[in-house]
Amino acid sequence: MVLVQAHGETDGANAVDYKGNPVDKTRTGGWLAAGLILGAELSERVCVMGISMNLVTYLVHDLHLTSSKSATVVTNFMGTLNLLALLGGFLADAKLGRYLTVAIFSSVTAVGVIMLTMATTIRSMIPPQCDDYKRKHHECIEATGQQLALLYAALYTIALGGGGIKSNVSGFGSDQFDTSDPKEEKSMIFFFNRFYFCISMGSLFAVTVLVYIQDHVGRGWGYGISAGTMVIAVIVLFSGTKRYRYKKPQGSPLTVIWRVLILAVKNKSVPHPPHPSLLNEYHNSEVPHTERFRCLDKAAIVDDFAAADGSKPNSWVVSTVTQVEEVKMVIKLVPIWSTCILFWTIYSQMTTFTIEQATFMNRHIGTFNIPPGSFSFFLIFTILLFTSLNERIFVPMARKLTHTTQGLTSLQRVGIGLVFSILAMVASAVVEKRRRDMAHQQIVISAFWLVPQFFLVGAGEAFAYVGQLEFFIREAPERMKSMSTGFFLSAISMGFFVSSLLVTLVDNVSQHKWFRSNLNRGKLDRFYWILVVLGLINFLGFLVFAMRHQYKVVQQFSGPNQSQEKELSSWGINEEQEYNKEKTEAKGEVLV
């Protein structure tokens, strides 16, 4: 489950109506406009959760793909969806604005779900049915590339649309409230609570009602309901066009980052100036200059011609010290980002192998047979439970113990989440070993033995998700809050892709013996133990990076301090002339 906080400016001063005029608060924005926007996210959650939590069973049992290939399809789909959130955020910030981006990508999602409905109902897109005898003797006919083509096209169309919605819908919703107005500021706080509630309810509906319809009525009906929901959401979104408040695109911070990196590489042979005060807009920098990642300072070396006439250099010719330091701050987040990836690799198992395990277990309550995908209910329920417990019990308790207003720091939350994820894989390995041993004795154990691993991963997400999101938003540069959200989503994306990579590697190394369509013949528990070992190594790395990390401190900076003034006076005209000579020679070599 993914919740994306709003970012960017939230004051009403920059808001306009659909005609580009200053907004009339009595006619635009507020709860009605925000409610219409929430429909898009609610529908996106219904579609994505309804697909991801039950897709693996369709791939294995209807299309006859192997367990490893099926898991890879699901994790690649989810990884791509979260990665494309970066594209959606970039387009909104750089050119389209949030409204157009949400509207376009919601329509794309609707098209994708309609395609998925067709892929699962057109008879020629599905291989012949396979009975138990054929399955046992490996005589099932696997879906061909031509049959899978429409399915893959549908999934990645949904991923494209979902990524664009995910990265912008919460921000567009928050744009409907003016934080300079105390009444509207209070409403915006409630908006985030209701936003979270909506996506949670959408997820619960997807893994209970929708999954049941897919398994017992038909995939076409299940995905058809999702498609209808998405189409209605698009219509509702467009119906509120005149009521929305809009913010004009301010440019993407990704452009700034690429520009700094490109200029630093371009000027790699140019010598560093004798003192950083020679860097572009050093004295007007909004962020203090630092010596870390000093190679990036070369992006702020002033062009000779611009320096000669005193004009403001072009941003594609030279960056400012502020921009360089902001990029340094982003790079500083990379070590923690890298250790967050494995949590989402473990989380992805809840949508693949854990669901597949449930198909080989007793899922009956009386005469009612619970669909395998519906066991994700315990994951979502635990997330909501621990989110509430964190707010009401754990954080207040931590505040009393630590005597701080924050209670648990963001990195402490992440660390707790990582520990929960490791324990979840231990539980998964133990339960799978027990399940397979009992199956060999012709005993089918209850699927409720899977609840502990859902519980532990859900509890871990309640800590890790909030901790990661808070860390990336708080520690990112002030003008790169939207980019920091995308950075967080990219960690989730990489987690799913790493899962695909691990499954492929382990499947090849084990000579296809660990992952079998019939899990009773495989060794899935050994894969879980590999994740336990990787989790422990990753956790140790996280501890090292976390202890070395220095939290960002908001500083007021107005040029060089006294010690820097003394240093400035220690180097004279000769040093500056020598430096300019070396710089000119270096630039000449670059041109050649």
* pLDDT in the model for residue 543: 95
Q: What burial class does residue 221 get, using C-beta atoms within 10 Å of its C-beta: 0-12 exposed, 13-18 middle, 19+ buried?
A: middle
For CA atoms 530, 533, 536, 541, give the dihedral sign.
negative
pTM score, whole prediction? 0.77
Q: Give the Cβ contact number of residue 546 at 10 Å.
A: 18
The answer to whether residue 451 scores a pLDDT higher than 60 is yes
Contacts of 515 (CB under 8 A, 6+ apart): 66, 67, 68, 71, 503, 506, 507, 522, 524, 527
57-61, 407-411, 472-476: the lowest-pLDDT one? 472-476
The answer to whether residue 318 scores a pLDDT higher than 60 is yes
Among residues 203, 262, 198, which one has the least CA distance to residue 37? 198
- Calpha distance 200→2 (Å, rounded): 9
Q: Give the Cβ contact number of residue 413 at 10 Å.
A: 25
Q: Mean of the per-residue pLDDT values for the chain?
A: 81
**DSSP code for 209:** I
Tokens of 143: 């879906």
Contacts of 291 (CB under 8 A, 6+ apart): none
Most confident of 171-185, 423-437, 510-524, 569-583: 423-437
3-state SS class at 368? strand
Q: Which domains does the chain have, with CATH numbers?
A: 15-128+142-250+324-548 (1.20.1250.20), 253-318 (no CATH)
Q: What is the mean pLDDT of residues 482-502?
A: 84
Query: Are residues 48 and 211 in contact, defined by beta-carbon separation less than 8 angstroms?
Result: no
* pLDDT in the model for residue 563: 43
Among residues 99, 30, 114, 111, which one has the least CA distance to residue 237? 99
Q: What is the mean pLDDT of residues 386-406?
A: 78
The answer to whether residue 156 scores a pLDDT higher than 90 is yes
The answer to whether residue 570 scores a pLDDT higher than 70 is no
Of 581 and 107, the structure prediction assigns the larger pLDDT to 107
In the block, tokens 């859900």 appear at: 458
Whole-angstrom Cα Rg for the chain: 27
pLDDT tens digit sequence for 24-49: 888 888 888 888 888 888 888 888 88
The answer to whether residue 581 scores a pLDDT higher than 70 is no
User: Residue 553: pLDDT band by 50, 70, 90 thresholds?
Assistant: low
User: Residue 592: pLDDT band by 50, 70, 90 thresholds?
Assistant: very low
Q: What is the mean pLDDT of residues 333-337?
A: 90
Tokens of 236: 């509702």
14-18, 96-100, 151-155, 338-342: the lowest-pLDDT one? 14-18
Q: Give strand pairing partners of 279.
A: 301
Of 481 and 76, the structure prediction assigns the larger pLDDT to 76
- Give how far the C-alpha of residue 461 lies from the chain's centroid of Cα atoms, to the nearest Å: 13
Phi, psi of 249 (to 5 degrees): -60, 135
The answer to whether residue 312 scores a pLDDT higher than 70 is no
